[in-house]
Amino acid sequence: MNIQDELQVTIDALVQKGKGILAADESSPTIAKRFQAIDVESTEENRRAYRSLLLSTPDLGEFISGVILFEETLGQCSDDGVMLPALCVQQDIVPGVKVDKGKLPLPNAPGDEITQGLDGLELRLKGYKQQGARFAKWRDVYHINEVTPSLLAIQANAEVLARYAAICQAQGIVPIVEPEVLIDGTHSLTRCAEVSEVVFHEVFHALHRHHVVLEHMLLKPNMIVPGKLNPQQTNPHEVAVQTVRILRRTVPAAVPSINFLSGGLTPEVATANLNAMNQLDPQPWELSFSYGRALQEPALQAWKGDSANNQITQAALYQRARLNGIARYGKYTEAMECR
């Protein structure tokens, strides 16, 4: 099988009606914060136990087509001794991996950041692929205030995302491109839309420059929402209308699926927003999800590091995956949260 065919097989497996992607790729500092909130120490064994529990949730593959893993997880086993990427495959879930190395301040652009990790990426991808990963994810972030993001940050981050995507495709790895305009701050819905349009537009210019095959990538963007500190919040329909408006201006129809990040939204709001988008007129791409906290938060609160809670933990994850699967068809209602 040549590389293009290999990429297409992975895309077909990831982009399925009624399914989305579970992001379980929290970095060590991030998962330590999540565990601290439930009074659990972030040891390697606790991380392994928790992620193994998530991935072994019965019938999770009904609504989850892929899972983004942290590098550490690729080499870990379930309680039954099954490698965690293989456990995903047993569930008909495609294993993927986060490949960026985190953010740094961008020189000469106060308040802006850039993501690192391109050095040695090709070699790392070869290793990840041998461990079972078939797709990758790279996240760049954009802060909104009166002066950010700067044009320098917009252009530099777009270039990094495009270089990452090109390197992935050369290795037969499907890239998820994640430009995240952050929800932090007091900015309005309109300001988020303005910034997101410029960011997404620049990202696709860069992808074209680097000859990235759009049919063999996924986009993981933010939704168009006001800053979480803005007192004037909005409803899912307005979020849906504004988000789709900006995406239609910036994202080519060749991209097979747009898998939204939840980015600090509550599980219920993230699901309602996705549902509202799928109630609009049909779009040229699938509108799906790639949620981390919005899928995991109820499960994490149920688990609390206690194996006695394993069954209710898995039930909580399955429920959120099911509700987002329903939202993929635009058939979710708030009443379903109580079922």
In this prediction, residue 339 carries a pLDDT of: 67
The type of residue at 240 is A
- How far lies 238's CA from each of 64, 118, 190, 276, in Å? 27, 37, 11, 9
Q: What is the dotted CATH code of the domain comprising 98-331?
A: 3.20.20.70
For the chain, the C-alpha Rg in angstroms (whole number) is 19
Residue 61 has a pLDDT of 98
Q: Which of the residues are catalytic? A: 178, 220
Q: How far is CA 277 from CA 7, 85, 133, 274, in A?
A: 27, 32, 30, 5
Residue type present at position 192:
C
Q: At what angle do helices 310-327 and 293-303 cross, to 10 degrees?
A: 160
Q: Quick count: other Cβ atoms within 10 Å of Cβ 324?
A: 27
Sole residue written with tokens 């997880």: 73
pLDDT number for residue 335:
65
Q: How far is it, in rounded angstroms, from Cα 69 to Cα 107?
A: 30
Q: What is the pLDDT along the chain (339 residues), one digit of tens a residue?
A: 899 999 999 999 999 999 999 999 999 999 999 999 999 999 999 999 999 999 999 999 999 999 999 999 999 999 999 999 999 999 999 999 999 999 999 999 999 999 999 999 999 999 999 999 999 999 999 999 989 999 999 999 999 999 999 999 999 999 999 999 999 999 999 999 999 999 999 999 999 999 999 999 999 999 999 999 999 999 999 999 999 999 999 999 999 999 999 999 999 999 999 999 999 999 999 999 999 999 999 999 999 999 999 999 999 999 999 999 999 999 998 767 866
